[in-house]
């Protein structure tokens, strides 16, 4: 397969997955904002979270003076000038699909093209009455595209590069979503274990479609350490870091090739670290520090994949989350 074709397929899958996960981040932030909180700067602190997660805080602050719900929602969901917005992600996914129209099935093209056309029709009314309805729509369109892909594509290198992009992006975004609660939405000491704290954990699990899985595995109250274990180390949880790296390592082994030797080494190293890790060691290190380190490693893996297999093109990769939020007034 030509590296340029592989490149378009890889990024098409990443942008579809990114749009879905951006919708998940906005959804959990919106649901958390419905909780009463009279602490000083609560709204600013809360709505800075999705900006920090998506790596576009600087771009936002250059355009807007205040961090508030409506402007952040519109910036991250619909702003064409934001390289991490849902609008931009769907646009770039369609452009990449159009560039390799002959390498994907007609059903895949119809799905992604219909999503883009419907997005443009919905633009004037999105978020006015029901923000969660739009977030659910984005997730459903992503699920539809992924189902059509698996149901219609030949199991060849084209599908392998699509899967590679999907699971690499998913691992990156799961780490970012988990850090929302552990670092950015960390409650006051007196709130730990209370109703608001429980609601936030439940919202986070639902945002990654893991609430039922948590109940099935642990059958108990929601605790921070168990949520972290589920979303990092459980290989049977579809959106966990471990499950994503299982897929990435397996797919790279199938693709093979001399030029991808370093990317396979990095993927194997990262997968082994997750396979043999213990949640006690991770929490002792500090979950925010662990997730930040993971994001740096997954970014390096992405760079090695691009260097080994793909055409050299500049694409937007979100920056690691920043620990200090003092710059927000």
pLDDT confidence of residue 70: 87
> In this structure, what are the phi and psi dihedrals at residue 159, rounded to the nearest 5 degrees?
-65, -35
Whether 118 is in a domain gets the answer yes
Number of domains into which the chain is organized: 1
Whether 124 is in a domain gets the answer yes
Whether 321 is in a domain gets the answer no
Residue 34, classified by CB atoms within 10 Å of its CB into exposed (0-12), middle (13-18) or buried (19+), is exposed
pLDDT confidence of residue 323: 43
pTM of the model: 0.89
Whether 318 is in a domain gets the answer no
E strand or H helix that includes residue 149: helix 131-152
Higher-confidence residue: 19 or 312? 19
Q: What is the mean pLDDT of residues 174-188?
A: 71
pLDDT confidence of residue 319: 55
Q: What is the mean pLDDT of residues 148-172?
A: 95
Whether 8 is in a domain gets the answer yes
Whether 324 is in a domain gets the answer no
Residue 317 pLDDT more than 80?
Answer: no
Q: What is the mean pLDDT of residues 116-139?
A: 87
Higher-confidence residue: 276 or 181? 276
> In this structure, what are the phi and psi dihedrals at residue 245, rounded to the nearest 5 degrees?
-70, -30
Residue 265: which domain range?
3-309
Q: How does pLDDT run across 219-256, given as a tens digit for each residue?
A: 878 888 899 999 999 999 999 999 999 999 999 999 98
Whether 328 is in a domain gets the answer no
Quickly list DSSP for 15-28. Answer: HHHHHHHHHHHHHH
pLDDT confidence of residue 111: 97
Higher-confidence residue: 37 or 126? 126
Predicted confidence band at 325 (pLDDT cuts at 50, 70, 90)?
very low
Whether 327 is in a domain gets the answer no
Q: How does pLDDT run across 59-107, given as a tens digit for each residue?
A: 999 998 888 888 999 999 999 999 999 999 999 999 999 999 999 999 9
CA separation, residue 318 to residues 50, 93, 218 (Å)? 12, 16, 33
* CA–CA separation, 210 and 305 (whole Å): 29
* CA–CA separation, 204 and 57 (whole Å): 21
pLDDT confidence of residue 178: 87
């Amino acid at each position: 397969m030509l590296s340029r074709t592989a490149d378009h397929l890889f990024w098409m899958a990443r942008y579809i997955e990114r749009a879905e996960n951006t919708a998940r981040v906005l959804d959990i932030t919106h649901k958390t904002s419905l909780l009463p909180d009279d602490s000083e700067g609560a709204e600013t602190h809360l709505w800075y979270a999705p900006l920090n997660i998506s790596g576009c805080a600087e771009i936002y602050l250059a355009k807007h003076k205040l961090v508030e719900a409506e402007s952040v929602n519109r910036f991250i969901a619909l702003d064409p000038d934001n390289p991490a917005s849902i609008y931009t992600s769907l646009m770039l996914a369609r452009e990449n699909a159009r560039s390799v129209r002959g390498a994907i099935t007609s059903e895949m093209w119809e799905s992604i093209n219909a999503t883009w056309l419907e997005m443009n029709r919905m633009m004037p009314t999105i978020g006015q009455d029901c923000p969660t309805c739009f977030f659910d729509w984005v997730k459903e369109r992503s699920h539809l595209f992924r189902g059509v892909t698996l149901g219609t594509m030949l199991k060849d290198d084209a599908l392998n590069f699509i899967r590679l992009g999907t699971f690499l992006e998913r691992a990156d975004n799961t780490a970012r979503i988990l850090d929302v609660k552990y670092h950015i939405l960390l409650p006051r000491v007196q709130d730990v274990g209370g109703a608001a704290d429980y609601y936030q954990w439940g919202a986070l699990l639902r945002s990654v479609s893991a609430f039922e899985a948590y109940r099935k595995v642990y059958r108990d109250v929601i605790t921070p350490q168990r949520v972290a274990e589920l979303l990092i180390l459980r290989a049977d949880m579809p959106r966990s870091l471990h499950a994503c790296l299982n897929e990435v390592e397996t797919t790279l082994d199938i693709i093979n090739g001399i030029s991808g030797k370093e990317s396979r080494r990095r993927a194997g190293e990262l997968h082994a670290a997750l396979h043999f890790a213990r949640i006690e060691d991770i929490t002792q290190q500090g979950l925010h520090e662990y997730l930040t380190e993971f994001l740096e490693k997954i970014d390096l893996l992405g760079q090695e994949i691009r260097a080994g297999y793909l055409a050299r093109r500049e694409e937007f990769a979100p920056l690691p989350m920043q620990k200090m939020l003092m710059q927000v007034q």
